[in-house]
Each structure stands twice: as structure tokens, then as C-alpha cells.
Homo-oligomer: A and B are copies of this chain.
């Protein structure tokens, strides 16, 4: 074929037409986490739409813009990653606080355990969850269930306060 050459002013792929709509940069990732990272950046795996109580216009297409916003559970529930841990709740002594047997408790060790907070305490090597009550110079650990009695609390060898429960994850 003969050439069809010549100037092509303004030709070429336009900027910003990539998959993400923004520039990318190579970042070194440990191989075991590459899959997870790619899912996060490519499929916005961690951003799940949040709806209120009205059926939104775009419903039920989560691919559309999320009028009510999106939510990342890790960021939402874990404010201080290095100070946070989970504990599996046992028993029904805190049923009144919405804590059921088997629930996953999100515990933040960086929060101050003030009066009224639900806390994780170890007693004789066992972790337990109770509500902290401070009154008249004394401190009590009170269950949220009338079947159980309050416990007088003071830090000692085998009793330690580990953190404040911020969220309860209940599976159905």
C-alpha cells in the first residue's frame, strides 16, 4: 500500500482515559497480598453502598453512583488499627447491651474507660465483657442481665482492664 502519512494534529489517545480516571504509579507489594490489593483498587471491593430507609433512585444497581454514600467497614469500625483487637463474646450476661453469645466485639485499647462504657476485663486469665460503673469512689463491673450480680472491680494481679468495646458484630 502507499503511504497515507502526513501530519495528524491533535491525534492520539486523550489523557485521563485509563481504567481509573487518574494516573497510576508502580508500587512494590508483597506477592501474597497482590491479589487482595488488585481486587481493592480494581473492583472497589471494600466500598459498599450504604442506604437509608427510603428506596434510593439508583436502587438496586450498586454500580451507579451511591446517593447515600459508600462505607468501608475496616475504616468505619477500626479507628486505631494498632490499638484494636477482636474478642468473641461468650454467654448472655450483656444481652441488654445488644451483645449475644458468639458476637464479635471490636475493642479499642486507646479509649479511656469512663463511667458507663462497655469494657473487656480479664479476671483469673479469662476475658469477660461488662459495663463499667463508677460511683462514690468505687468501681463496679455490672452485667446487663438481671440474672447476674455486679462485681466489685479494682486492678490487681489477676484483674486487668484491656479496652473499651466500640462495636458489636452479630451474625444471623
Interface, chain A (partner B; CB < 8 A): 20, 22-34, 36-41, 43-46, 48-55, 59-60, 62-63, 71-74, 77-78, 81-88, 90, 97-98, 100, 104, 109, 117-118, 122, 125-128, 162, 165-172
Contact = CB atoms under 8 A, between A and B. Distances in A.
8 contacts: A20-B30, A29-B37, A45-B81, A50-B85, A51-B85, A53-B90, A53-B127, A170-B170
B172 A169 contact: no
A84 B48 contact: yes
Residue of A34, A44, A77 with highest tally of chain B CB at under 10 A: A77
B27 A23 contact: no
Given A43-B81, A62-B82, A127-B53, A169 B166 contact: no
Given A74-B73, A90-B53, A27 B30 contact: no
Task: Give the oligomeric copy count.
Answer: 2
Contacts of A81: 39, 43-46, 48
Given A24-B30, A73-B73, A74-B72, A55 B127 contact: yes
A23 B28 CA distance: 10
Residue of A20, A28, A167 with highest tally of chain B CB at under 10 A: A28
B60 A162 contact: yes
